[in-house]
Structure 1
Amino acid sequence: MKPYIGIVHQEGGSAFGIHFPDIPGCFSAADDLDDLLRHASQALALHLEDMPAPQPRTLDALRADREIQAELAAGAFLMAIPFIKLTGRTQKANITLDAGLLQLIDQTARERGLTRSAFLSDVARREITG
């Protein structure tokens, strides 16, 4: 699925806020811009948890929207946010990795009290959402 485009606002020393023109009522915030992508992705997942995800508009369609043009002119900016719809069910996957890398993955997972699968899922989720 294409990412959703969020509109980011920040005034003075306040937190960064983001809302999604294609998903009314869905918003998030973060004190640091580096955290906003992760927070916004979580907000999308929670907001769309029990409903079908609407098709996001293209970047060109959003840029042509007069309300969005006004927000951008006032200093807002756009951010692409990946949507990860978690189903709550697991699925087995067979992957191939270098043996040395696999040993380090297993060691790190054990040190963190995680299974290999939980560790790899966490790393993948963080990589996808920034």
Structure 2
Amino acid sequence: MSFPDMPGCISAGVTIDEAVRNGVEALSGHVRMLEGDGDPVPPPRDFDAIMSDPELAEDRDGAMTTVIPLIRDRGSTTRINVSSDLGLLEAIDATARERGQTRSAFLASAARKDIVD
């Protein structure tokens, strides 16, 4: 997997789903490294601009194309107030307990998965 707007960032996976999950991590890590070095983070182009870029024609030939979201892990947590149906909250808590997670960890994991999928 390559990122046309993020030179030097690459990733891979055995399956498409795994490649996308790994791509999210690779992109986040690459941006974190750029920021840590004080380098600018290139702005992303929209999908149509990438697909119509003649300089990428050879790279696109025979390739599958997708959009990878940038999820910036900031290394700190923030308290939020979220409303939910009581029955859903009970199901969230039960599933989190089964997995040995806190409610917050479970919700963050579920949100990350939904953003990536």
- The alignment's TM-score, normalised by the length of structure 1, stands at 0.79
| Unaligned ranges ≥5, structure 2 | none
Structure 2 distance, partners of 1:91, 1:29, is: 31
1:36 is matched by which residue type in structure 2? A
More strand, by proportion: 1
Q: CA RMSD in A?
A: 1.4
The residue that corresponds to 2:22 in the other structure is 39
Structure 2 distance, partners of 1:69, 1:58, is: 16
2:18 is matched by which residue type in structure 1? D
- The alignment's TM-score, normalised by the length of structure 2, stands at 0.88
Structure 1 distance, partners of 2:63, 2:20, is: 15
The residue that corresponds to 1:116 in the other structure is 103
Sequence identity percentage = 45
The residue that corresponds to 1:3 in the other structure is none
More helix, by proportion: 2
2:56 is matched by which residue type in structure 1? I
Give the number of equivalent residue pairs.
Answer: 112
- Structure of greater relative contact order (alpha carbons < 8 Å, 6+ residues apart): 1
| Unaligned ranges ≥5, structure 1 | 1-17
